[in-house]
Amino acid sequence: MAEIFSKTLTKDSILERVGDIAQICDARLMSFQDGRAEGVKTVEVTTGSGLSFTLVPSRNLDISRASFNGMSLAWQSAVGESSPAFYQPEGMEWLKNFFGGLLTTCGISYSSHPCEDEGESLGLHGRIANVPAQDLAIRKSWDGDDYRISVTGTMREVSVFGHNLVLERTVETSLGAKSLKITDLISNAGFRPSPVMMLYHINPGWPVMSEDSRLYASVSSSSYFDERAEKEADQWDRFSAPEADYAERCYLHSMRPGKDGIVKLCLVNEKLNIGVFEKYPAAEFPYFVQWKMMGRGEYVVGLEPGNITGNRAAMREDGSLEILEPGATRRFSIELGVLSGKDDVESFISEIRE
C-alpha cells in the first residue's frame, strides 16, 4: 500500500479520491520545442510524495532535473538540456554538451580523461550519454495496492570493426516513493571481447549541497587525482560557499559496504534537514569517485560509483580494465532518493554507520 499525504491507503481508497491516478502519480512523454533542446524527448515523472524527476530518452535515459516539494536536488549546468546533435567526442569537448543533472552516465566502452588506447583516440567520459534510446517503453500499472512506474530503453555503442555493446536501462519508482531505482544491463552483442567502463556521474547541487552540508559515507581509504585534493584530504566531506577561480578536487574512495553488501551514502544540508542518498551493491561498483567543485556557477559535488580508476589506457596498462566477453552481460544497479526531515536523515546516517 502507498504511504501518501500522511496516510497508508489501498488502491480502492486512492481511486475513490481521484478521477485519474495521473492526478498524483504519472510518467508523461514530452519534448522540447526550441533552442538547443528542440526535439529532445523527456519523460516527466511524479510520484505523489513530492519527488519529481525528468528522464531524457534522447540522452540515454539519463536524469536531468530532479526536485522534492519544489526544491531542486541536482545541479544544472549552463548547457541545460541539449540535443545529442551537439555532442563532440574529441578531447574535452564532451563538456560542451554536459547538462549535469541528477545523473549523466559516463561510458560504456571508455570513460574518464582523454587518452590514446591501442591506436584509438578517446575523448572525455565516453559516448553513451549522447546516445538516444530505442524501444522506449513506459509502463504504469497497479500491482495489488501498489501503483508502479517503469521506463525502459535500449542504447547501443557500436561501430563497424569496433565494439558492439548494448545497454538496456530500466528506471523504476512507485506511488508515494521518495526514491527511484536504476538497473543497467550491458551486453556484448559482438564477436570480440570489449572493454566495459561505467561511471554514474551523480550531481547533487544547491540547496542540498551548500556550506551547511556534509557528505556521510563509510570510507575505508582514499587516494587523490590531484595535489589540491591531497592537501585537503581531511575535507572531502565538507563544503564551502561558492568561490572565485576554484579548481576542482577529485578523490577516489574505497567504500565499505554493510553486512548486506550494499554501500550507502548521503549528502545532507544539515540546516535544512534535506538530503540525497545513494544505495548500490559493492560487487557491482568496486570504486567511487568524488568530484568536488565549489566554483561560482559550477557549484556541485559529483558522487560517482563506477568500475573505473582512470582512463582506458591507464587501466589496461595496470591490468584493472574490465573486459566483457562476447555474449556476456554485466549488471549495474543503484537506488537514488531524497531524505526529508531530521528523523529521515538521522535514520539513514545510522544505517551507514552500522
The Cβ of residue 33 has, within 10 Å, a number of other Cβ atoms equal to 9
**pTM for the model:** 0.96
What is the reported pLDDT for 5? 87
3-state DSSP helix/strand/coil percent for the chain, to nearest 5? 15, 50, 40
Residues in Cβ contact with 155 at an 8 Å cutoff, skipping those fewer than 6 apart: 60, 61, 128, 131, 132, 133, 134, 166, 167, 169
Q: Which three cell numbers stand for residue 14?
A: 486512492
Strand 194-195 relative to strand 179-188: parallel, antiparallel, unpaired? Answer: unpaired
Q: Which three cell numbers stand for residue 66?
A: 530532479
Q: Give the tens place of pLDDT for each residue, 239-287.
A: 999 999 999 999 999 999 999 999 999 999 999 999 999 999 999 999 9
Q: Which residues of 18-32 are buried (b: 16+ CB within 10 A; e: fewer)?
A: eeebeebbbbeeeeb
What is the reported pLDDT for 2? 84
| pLDDT tops 90 at residue 6 | no
For residue 35, what pLDDT band results from cuts at 50, 70 and 90?
A: very high
Peptide bond preceding 207: is omega within 30 degrees of 0, i.e. cis?
yes
The terminus-to-terminus CA distance of the chain in angstroms comes to 28
C-alpha 202/C-alpha 277 separation (Å) is: 10
For residue 129, give the DSSP letter.
G
For residue 176, what pLDDT band results from cuts at 50, 70 and 90?
A: very high
Q: Positive or negative CA dihedral for 260, 154, 93, 244? A: negative
| pLDDT tops 90 at residue 315 | yes
C-alpha 310/C-alpha 322 separation (Å) is: 12
C-alpha 178/C-alpha 164 separation (Å) is: 36
C-alpha 44/C-alpha 212 separation (Å) is: 30
What is the reported pLDDT for 147? 97
Peptide bond preceding 108: is omega within 30 degrees of 0, i.e. cis?
yes
| pLDDT tops 90 at residue 3 | no
For residue 110, give the DSSP letter.
-
In sequence order, which ranges of the chain are alpha helices (DSSP H)? 11-15, 227-231, 312-318, 342-353
| pLDDT tops 90 at residue 354 | no
Q: Give the tens place of pLDDT for each residue, 70-126.
A: 999 999 999 999 999 999 999 999 999 999 999 999 999 999 999 999 999 999 999
Q: Which three cell numbers stand for residue 34?
A: 526550441
Residue 288, phi then psi, degrees to nearest 5 = -145, 120
Beta bridge pairs of residue 125: none
